[in-house]
Structure 1
Amino acid sequence: MSDEEYKKVFSKNLLHFLEINGKNQADLCKYIGVSSATVSDWCNGKKMPRMDKIQSICNWLHIEKSDLLESQSADSASYYLNEDARDMAQFLFENPEYKVLFDASRKVKPEDIQFVKEMIDRMSNQNG
C-alpha cells in the first residue's frame, strides 16, 4: 500500500472512531495536545501522525492500532465485542430517547444496557 493509501485509510478510520465515540476534531486536539491544523491534516488524509500519537489516540478511543491503520471491510469485526451489545446499541441509535446510554463503554454487558433501558422505561411511564 502506498503512503497516500495509508493516509486515506487512517483518516477514514479515525473519523469513524471519533464519530462512534461522540468525539470531534477539537476533542482530539485537546487530548493529544496538537494544533487543529495538524488534526485536520490527519482527518483529511494529508498527513499521518507519529506512532506515539497513534498509540495515544488508540488509548483514548479504547481501540487497537490496527483499527486505525488497516482497511476495515464491511464484514470485519464489529466495534462491539459482544453481538448482543451491538444489537442493543443499534436499538439505542434508532430510539433517541435512550441517548443517555450511548455513554456506555463498548465492553458493556448487554444485560446492563437492558437494565438501564428498563429503568428509563419505568421512569418514563411514571411521568407520562
Structure 2
Amino acid sequence: MGLVEKIKILCKEKKITVAELERKTGISNGQIRKWDNSTPGIDKLNKVADYFDVSVDYLLGRTDKKRYYDLTEKDERDIEKDLESILNNAESSFGLASFDGTVLDDIDKEDYDLYVSSLRNALRMHKRLAKKKFTPKKYR
C-alpha cells in the first residue's frame, strides 16, 4: 500500500477529505495526491503524521504499528504474567478466587470475570502510558 493510499484510509477513519487535511496542516492544495510520483519533504510528512497521531514509519509502510506506544505481543504476554501474579497473590492473601476461576467466597463467576477484565485493562492502560511517557524521543 502506498503513502497516498494510507493517508486516504486515515482520512476516511477521521471522516475528512484529503483537501481538508491539506488545509488543516498547511500543505498546498493538491500536494498530497502528487506524493505517488514524487518524494514529500520530511516536514510535510511530520505534519501529516502528527495530525493523525501516527509514526512517519507507519505512513511510509515500514511498520504496521501506528503509534510507538501501541502494545506489542511481548507487552501482552507481560501483562498476562502480571495479571496471573496479581490473581495468585489475591487468592493467597484474601481468599477471593483461584486463578482457574473457581469461586471460593461470596464472589460469583460474573463478578470475578469483571474483576479480571478490569485488572487486565488497567495493566494495559498503565503499560501504554508508561511507553508514552518514558520512551526517548529518538525511538519514537
Q: Which has the higher contact order (CA 8 A, sep 6+)?
A: 1
Q: Tell me, yes or no, whether TM beats 0.5.
A: no
Q: TM-score, normalised by structure 1?
A: 0.45
Structure with the greater alpha carbon radius of gyration: 2
